[in-house]
Amino acid sequence: MAIRKGLMGGVALVAVGAAGAFSISHVKLSWSPQAQAAPPVVMAEAKPALPPPSKEQVSEARMLSRTFSQVASQLSPSVVRISVAKTVKGMRGAHHGMGGNGGNPFSGTPFERFFGDQGQGNDGDDDQGQAQGPKQRGTGSGVVIDQKGYILTNNHVVEDADEVKVSFSDGKEVKAKVVGTDPKTDLAVVKVDGVEVRAAKLGDSDKLQVGEWVIAIGNPFGLDHTVTVGVLSAKNRSGFQGPSHYEDFLQTDASINPGNSGGPLVDIDGEVIGINTMIAGIGTGIGFAVPSSMFRPIAEQLISGGKVRRPKLGILMQDVTSEIQQTLGGKAPAKGALVGQIEPGSAAEKAGVKPGDVIVAVDGAPVDGSKAVQRTVLTKKIGQKLELSVWRDGQSLKLAATTQEMAGDQQQAARAGNAGASKAKLGLGLQPLTPELAERLGVGKGTRGVVVGSVREGSPAQEAGVREGDVLLEVDRKPIVSTEEAGRLLGSERAGGHLLRLKRGDSALFMVLPNP
């Protein structure tokens, strides 16, 4: 029962019943000198669960805080804002060019939501009024890595840009030229001349431990030289952009937002250990950066020759799962990379690698899966010898291989030219079906086919009802196992169009894809 003093000289009694109902009655009381005053209520003093911080603790906290400030101060002259302009060709409505994305020059790419643009208002909504015109404009970040004026950033920041400008912390703005790009790792190098620069110190991401402090510096939403602090949440993250990209991301909870793209992720020593590249979504607190172990050799090659040359073994691999281990036999390794296919004449074939082998170590360093093998091989030089430790039918073998040069992006694009043209006419963007994608799409590990990565608006594919995320199983009753094969079949004219068999989640369905 709670008692409160009435407004008219009485006391209101509030009773709470079992069902939570309140009944209120007013009782008129007369006050007399003989009335005894209620004893004073003595409140127990609230005691904190913990003692106040000591002077030493406060001093240590201030020292850490000051360390963050010092790191930011030292890096500030090396962090730049990159502004780009790109000519729009063939804008076709709300979902093409700038029309549907407020001036974002990277609409339709995996980084559409991450790259800051100047077509957005302060409230973050698309500004359709500024989305018209022959130029798309956007901003990103970068970091100076060489005293000669070389600046490292993301490929998606400067890709196809007609004009690149770099702004420094002291207000200087100069034109820059693109030295080289590497779409497979989303890295690029630009260069400025005629201006004094301060290069940041590069660190070693391999030595950084999960849980250590990291600091992100960049220009989110156009707010120059914003500093955010967090920890290294994880290492070796991959599986976001498909097999055509090389992924070995650092994950951090240091706040990263649109416009941070291309800026540095630094450790407590003020050394750059990552280039901020991607986020899981605005406000999620999950960001990803290309580690220095990957970006350093890429940057060196772009600076020296404007392109990247990579080593390869010439094998297709997949991770060893518990199910695969059981089928291989009781003594099969629980971890490793199962070789599924070997390129004819490749380094792997010459070394004696066979389909069904399980690679368990490279140069004596254990590997837990296909990505680990790929990462290790990419750290080697073209023509360098390495040792593969493999498991084959219950036996452990050591094979010597010499890396070969991987075909460049332009050569690969030339080989797939006709297939790509046919798919473009139909409005289909296809990509290989990896085990990770199969699991994400819920189509089962044993499914064979290719994934529909994009469908162009107004295209024959959209008219037929094809959707992003569909798995293309057959074209004209012929099974599909590669994007090249799909492109070849779709490139031929067929009366009435092509009969597609697709898998969408748990369902399989047929569709007729009309000729373009």
pLDDT in tens, 176-196: 999 999 998 999 999 999 999
The token duo for 352 is: 């004696």
Integer Cα distance of 215 and 70 in angstroms: 11
Label residues 102-111 b or e (16+ Cβ within 10 Å = b): bbbbbbeebb
pLDDT at 476: 83
SS3 per-residue string spanning 104-131: CCCCCCCCCCCCEECCECCCCCECHHHC
**Higher-pLDDT residue of 406, 88:** 406
Q: Specify the CATH number of the domain 311-405.
A: 2.30.42.10
pLDDT in tens, 438-447: 777 877 767 8
Integer Cα distance of 264 and 80 in angstroms: 10
pLDDT > 60? residue 422: no
pLDDT at 501: 86
Where does residue 335 rank: exposed (0-12), middle (13-18), buried (19+ CB within 10 A)? Answer: middle
445: Cα separation from own chain's centroid: 24
pLDDT > 50? residue 6: no
Strand partners, 3: 13
CA dihedral 226, 187, 300, 359 (to 10 degrees): 120
Residues of the chain with CATH 2.40.10.120: 77-308
Full DSSP string of 476-497: TTEE--SHHHHHHHHTS--TT-
354: Cα separation from own chain's centroid: 34
pLDDT at 173: 94
Where does residue 343 rank: exposed (0-12), middle (13-18), buried (19+ CB within 10 A)? Answer: middle
pLDDT at 92: 40
**Which of helix, strand or coil describes residue 378?**
helix
Alpha-carbon distance values, 364 to 218, 367, 386 (Å) = 39, 9, 9
pLDDT in tens, 276-288: 998 887 667 889 9
Integer Cα distance of 437 and 27 in angstroms: 74
Q: According to the CATH classification, is domain 416-513 in 2.30.42.10?
A: yes
Integer Cα distance of 318 and 370 in angstroms: 5
Integer Cα distance of 320 and 204 in angstroms: 29
H/E segment holding residue 351: helix 347-351
Torsions phi, psi for 402 (to 5 deg): -120, 120
pLDDT in tens, 360-387: 999 999 999 888 898 889 888 899 999 9
- Would you please indicate which residues are annotated as catalytic (active-site) residues? 156, 186, 261
Spatial CB neighbours of 306, under 8 Å, sequence gap ≥ 6: 179, 180
Torsions phi, psi for 399 (to 5 deg): -120, 140
pLDDT in tens, 53-84: 899 989 988 999 999 999 999 999 999 999 99
**Higher-pLDDT residue of 114, 359:** 359
Integer Cα distance of 180 and 187 in angstroms: 9
pLDDT at 438: 79
Full DSSP string of 155-208: HHHHTT-SEEEEE-TTS-EEEEEEEEEETTTTEEEEE--SS---PPPB--GGGP
Spatial CB neighbours of 151, under 8 Å, sequence gap ≥ 6: 80, 82, 142, 143, 144, 145, 166, 176, 189, 190, 191, 192
pLDDT at 459: 82
CA-based angle 52:58:61, to the nearest 5? 130
- Residues 93, 94, 97, 99, CA torsion sign: positive
pLDDT in tens, 388-406: 999 998 899 999 999 999 8
Query: Once rounded to an integer, what is the mean pLDDT over residues 490-506?
Result: 80
**Higher-pLDDT residue of 32, 160:** 160
| Local confidence band at 244 (pLDDT 50, 70, 90 cut-offs) | low
Spatial CB neighbours of 363, under 8 Å, sequence gap ≥ 6: 376, 386, 387
Residues of the chain with CATH 2.30.42.10: 311-405, 416-513
Q: Are 288 and 315 in contact (CB under 8 A)?
A: no
Torsions phi, psi for 343 (to 5 deg): -70, 130
pLDDT averaged over every residue in the chain:
79
pLDDT at 11: 35
Integer Cα distance of 75 and 497 in angstroms: 59
Full DSSP string of 261-320: TT-EEEETTS-EEEEEEEESSTTS--EEEEEHHHHHHHHHHHHHHSS---EE--EEEEEP
H/E segment holding residue 326: helix 322-328
Residues in the chain: 516
pLDDT > 50? residue 164: yes
CATH class of 77-308: mainly beta
Q: Are 418 and 491 in contact (CB under 8 A)?
A: yes
Q: Which of 386, 242, 392 is nearest to 312 (CA)?
A: 386
pLDDT in tens, 438-490: 777 877 767 888 888 888 877 888 888 898 888 999 888 888 888 888 888 88
Q: What is the CA radius of gyration of the chain?
A: 31
**Higher-pLDDT residue of 503, 400:** 400
Interaxial angle between packed helices 483-490 and 417-426, expressed in degrees from 0 to 180 and rounded to the nearest 10: 60
Amino acid identity of residue 95, one-letter, is: H
Integer Cα distance of 16 and 30 in angstroms: 26
Residue 292 zone, left/alpha/beta (φ > 0; ψ -120 to 50; rest): alpha
